[in-house]
Amino acid sequence: MMARHVVAFVVFAASPAIAGHRRCHEASAVVGYQRCSRLGAGWSGPTLAWELGGAMLRVPLDAIDRRVDVTSDGATSAYHVVSPTESGAAAAARLRNLYGLTEHMYLASELTLGRLKAPSLAIQPVAREVMSLDDTTTGWLFAGMLAVGARSSIGPVVLGTELAFGPRLVTFSNDRLPGVLFGQGGPVLEARAHASAWLSMHWTTSVMLATSLFARNDVSITFAIGLHAFPYDGGR
């Protein structure tokens, strides 16, 4: 049941452009006699597409200098966890919903969920002055973005740029510190460039490069397959 709710939420969040439906009883199909619509309704207009792909991200992580208490077998131990400012790497799935406003302008909403591999944490027992114990730290990355972009066709290829904004959250933990979760997050503003090629009138394959405008070492590359509701997004 929970899984169904999650799927419904993801589809809803990623599909704001699902067409609405107004109740109106049409009196006639003849121009000038129609009450509910006008000539040309549905002949052109906004287009809709979805992209699903894999992304590789490099995410800057803030420095950590934190005392944590770990309870194990009824005994509580205190540790001092330290990590400098470093970058983590994530492999993520990315779902994009593209709403074409005009031939060249579009809006996009996007969800990203990935597995994060964070840099090692230095874990020092506080009570006993011993050597630091380094270990691999892993976690999750979540991001939801909104983007506005421009694109243009050159033969079978579509090139474009976009500006994306939204929150991103990373959480990670270390096996040596059970029950301790580290979390970092904040807004992200990215500049992106992308290229896609038509495989057929409904399918594309694409690659997108992105870099944060806040941090130069915050970059990503996404490879995706796109499904387009209208042939060639209305025209190419």
Q: For residue 166, report the phi and psi dihedrals to the nearest 5 degrees.
A: 170, 175
Cα–chain center distance at 43: 32
- Nearest distance in Å: CB 201, other proteins: 6
Contacts with other proteins, 153-192, as mask; x by CB under 8 A:
----------------------------------------
Distance CA 22, CA 60 (A): 47
- Nearest distance in Å: CB 80, other proteins: 53
Residues numbered 194 to 223 that lie near other proteins (CB under 8 A) are 201-202
Q: How many CB atoms lie within 10 A of CB 41?
A: 10
Number of residues counted as binding other proteins (CB under 8 A): 33
The C-alpha angle with vertex 127 and arms to 124 and 131, in degrees rounded to 5, equals 35
Residues numbered 11 to 40 that lie near other proteins (CB under 8 A) are 15, 17-19, 21, 27-33, 38-40
CB-wise, 36 or 215, nearer to other proteins?
36
**104 and 95 in contact (C-beta within 8 Å)?**
no
* Burial letters 131-158, b for 16+ CB under 10 A, else e: eeeeeebebbbbbbbebebebebeeeeb
CB-wise, 15 or 211, nearer to other proteins?
15
- Nearest distance in Å: CB 23, other proteins: 12
**167 and 185 in contact (C-beta within 8 Å)?**
yes
Residue 223 CA: distances (Å) to CA of 52, 77, 218, 229: 8, 45, 17, 20
Residues 6+ apart with CB under 8 A from 142: 112, 113, 168, 169, 170
Residues numbered 95 to 124 that lie near other proteins (CB under 8 A) are 103
- Nearest distance in Å: CB 229, other proteins: 5
CB-wise, 45 or 84, nearer to other proteins?
45
CB-wise, 201 or 213, nearer to other proteins?
201
Of 35, 43, 76, 127, the residue at the interface with other proteins (CB under 8 A) is 43
Contacts with other proteins, 44-63, as mask; x by CB under 8 A:
x-xxx---------------
**How big is the chain, counted in residues?**
236
CB-wise, 9 or 165, nearer to other proteins?
9
Here the tokens at position 156 are 């079978």
Residues near other proteins, by CB under 8 A: 15, 17-19, 21, 27-33, 38-40, 42-44, 46-48, 103, 201-202, 227-232, 234-236
